[in-house]
Amino acid sequence: MLEMQKQHILDKVNACYGYRAIHEIRITQTAQTGFAEGQASFRGPKAVKLNSAETKRVGEAAMQLATDIQDERLKVALAKLGGAVLTRYGKNENQE
């Protein structure tokens, strides 16, 4: 059925583009099983739980790195972002 529709599909696609964008359609048959069965599951990195002392230390370290920034709101925002990244990927001062 699909083989018989190839020319019609080709004409419709090329009409949409306004020129001969596609000159050939190849139909390839695969196994009956779908592609989803062969996919591996992915789990991202686990978030690391920091206690309050570690959180404070990470925040202070991030603030020290942002000393050259003049805008106080931007400095605090970058410190929070740095703390979130360090917490997310488990790279606190004890692990480096």
As a whole number of angstroms, the distance between CA 34 and CA 44 comes to 25
- Rounded to whole angstroms, what are the CA distances from 68 to 50, 63, 75, 81, 84? 27, 10, 9, 17, 20
**pTM for the full predicted model:** 0.33
pLDDT value, residue 44: 65
- Quick one: tokens of 16? 């949409």
The pLDDT tens digits for 12-52 are 999 988 888 888 998 887 766 666 666 667 666 666 676 77
**Domain regions of the chain by residue span:** 1-27, 52-89
How does 33-43 read in b/e, with b if 16+ C-beta sit within 10 Å? eeeeeeeeeee
